[in-house]
Amino acid sequence: MTQRVLALLPGDGIGPEITEATRHVLTAASTTFGLGLTFRTIDIGFAALEATGSTFPDSAFEMIRACDGIVLGPVSHNAYPPRAEGGLNPSGELRKRLDLFANIRPARTRAGIVPRAGVPLDMVVVRENTEGFYADRNLFSGPGEIMVTEDVAMAFRRITRHASMRIAREAFALAETRGRHVTAVHKANVMRVSDGLFLECCRKVAEDHPDVVYDERLVDAMCAHLVRSPDQYDVIVTTNMFGDILSDLASELAGSLGLAASLNAGEAAAMAQAQHGSAPDLAGHDIANPSSLIGSAAMLLIWMGQRDGDPALLRAAEAIDASLEVALSSPEMRTRDLGGMAGTRDFAAAVADGLSKSDRTVG
């Protein structure tokens, strides 16, 4: 049996609880499907800051890089000290250092969960992950924001042909497996040069996929379209900041941000990460919903299965998703944010226990 090591990064707030819940489900999946998973817990965030003086020490990165996949719990990076005092955002650092250029964020309505949009959703936002307006990852050296004077702040936005082409290719490849429809979201009527380059790349890739419907939407209009007719969209591809905003909107319209899975993927590495934050006010009460991180871990198994050519990983991911669906369809098994009474641990146990049943239906 092939042995695979997953890095578990508990993070802050509810991070340790939902990471442990995800470990429980992954352990059950490994046993049921013979995946050979082992886990290496690596401190980041406030725990690492207290121990080492940095929220993301170099020693942690070296251990993470040696693993076969990464599961990152939510972090409270807005509460960290300045970067010069050790306050690095682990998520941004990992995306940049490992070149995790594609942030894949499905927005899918789950069984029994009433969609806020009024109709069920099944779309994916494919978000460029390494440049744009994000100050911690768009320049080779130094931040992408500066203070010109005490009264003037400036931000730099980097858009490159290389990054735009590869995120467009990712979106079209995904669309080929789904509804064969890609929508590029932009603001080229204002940012004519940078978003103009992004659209040029999307159109070029579209030429290589004549069987995929391709269209474009301005980002402000897209927000209105998502609220009014979200079922018209399949794969949305866009730049970093627009993708961050649109994916949260789409996930909430689908039912809840607490259900929203997310994968950060590159050529050589991938990281599962819940779409939501660390919710420190819920920490330690066994009430946090672990669905997002569990679903993200299933996406990680798919990425690993495709990389390794291992159908067992793909079957395990499908089973986790099916077991999540069953657990969420039961009102009494849902966590409190979804109107149920189940705790974090009980919900994870239900998903894990359901894997043996899913194994009989996944083929």
- Phi and psi at residue 98, to the nearest 5°: -95, 5
CB 124 within 8 A of CB 174: yes
pLDDT, tens only, 150-189: 999 999 899 999 999 999 999 999 999 999 999 999 999 9
Of the candidates 246, 102, 254, 233, the one whose C-alpha atom is nearest the C-alpha of residue 169 is 102
Q: Is pLDDT of 363 > 70?
A: no
Classify 228 as helix, strand or coil. helix
C-alpha span between 294 and 335 (Å, rounded)? 14
Classify 112 as helix, strand or coil. coil
Provide the strand spans (E) within 138-258: 145-149, 152-155, 181-186, 213-218, 235-238
Read off the DSSP letter of residue 56.
S
Helices 15-33 & 291-308, crossing angle to 10 degrees? 40
What pTM was estimated for this model as a whole? 0.94
Percent of the chain with pLDDT over 70: 98
Mean pLDDT, range 260-285, rounded to an integer: 96
Query: Domains along the chain?
Result: 1-99+261-363 (3.40.718.10), 115-254 (3.40.718.10)
Q: Is pLDDT of 305 > 90?
A: yes
Active site residues: 134, 187, 220, 244, 248
State the pLDDT at residue 144.
85
Residue 91: both structure tokens together? 């998520």
Mean pLDDT, range 20-25, rounded to an integer: 98
Provide the strand spans (E) within 102-225: 102-108, 122-128, 145-149, 152-155, 181-186, 213-218
pLDDT, tens only, 201-255: 999 999 999 999 999 999 999 999 999 999 999 999 999 999 999 999 999 999 9
Looking at per-residue pLDDT, the higher value among 351 and 361 belongs to 351
Provide the strand spans (E) within 176-309: 181-186, 213-218, 235-238, 263-265, 270-273
